[in-house]
Amino acid sequence: MAETSIEWTDATWNPVAGCTVLSPGCTNCYAMRMAARLEAMGAGKYRGLTRKSGGRAVWTGKLFLDRRALEAPKAWRKPRQIFVNSMSDLFHANVPENFIHEVWSTMEATPQHTYQILTKRPDRMAEISQALPTLQNVWLGTSVENADYLDRINDLRRVRAVVRFISFEPLLGSVATADLSGIHWAIVGGESGPRARPMDPKWVDEIEIACRRHGTAFFFKQWGGRNKKASGRLLRGRTYDEMPLGI
């Protein structure tokens, strides 16, 4: 486990490392930069997961399944909200289904924690979740960066989960037509880092309107930019830290 500064969670847990660039939201993924940095520091778990391209680190498509990490949450006594696989995607096509079942077993054995799993592959999540127990402490979500990927929300609605959530981050375009029925939580954020692409405030307003229409909790994470701390996370002069189920 690693404590994290991510505003909507307490810690990260990575039984899988490595991924593949899939859509525009992946272009400047912080996890690629972090994986390259960790490899340079000698962390064997991240060896060969990225390569240099155009002066930046990009995924090679290689994955590392960390079975030792599967036991780690059982030693964490203090209840936490845990972002699962901040350095990968649990539902990547090359993660074996039996390994996903092992991750589920660990989460089932540690009900004191709340696990938040985010994927860009909700179609596979929907299929595999049919054979998994619906755990009260597991929230399942997908990322949507612009209107071209709104179909991921339809796949998410097929997922068996007590909480379904969407991360509109990095928000790269308007998603005004998003149907949030059956979605419990929406996280909105602009891209951050040296190559950050801008986010129009109008796009944020459109999502909040959709949240109010469907009774979806609205969490505004950040404006982003090259210096996300300077940009802050105030929206109309206040923070929006709504969580699903009144948590």
According to DSSP, the β-strands at 114-119 and 81-84 are parallel
Read off the pLDDT of residues 54-86 as tens digits, 9 standing for 90 and up: 889 999 999 999 999 999 999 999 999 999 999
Residue 247 has pLDDT above 70, yes or no: no
Percent of the chain's residues with pLDDT above 90:
96
The pLDDT, as a whole number, for residue 224 is: 96
The pLDDT, as a whole number, for residue 1 is: 65
The pLDDT, as a whole number, for residue 54 is: 87
The pLDDT, as a whole number, for residue 245 is: 79
Residue 38 gets the label, from left (phi > 0), alpha (psi -120 to 50) or beta, of alpha
Instruction: 29-37: list long-range contacts, CB under 8 Å, 24+ apart.
Output: 29/59, 30/192, 30/193, 31/86, 31/87, 31/88, 32/56, 32/57, 32/58, 32/59, 33/57, 33/193, 34/87, 35/59, 35/87
Read off the pLDDT of residues 79-129 as tens digits, 9 standing for 90 and up: 999 999 999 999 999 999 999 999 999 999 999 999 999 999 999 999 999
Q: What is the pTM of this model?
A: 0.96
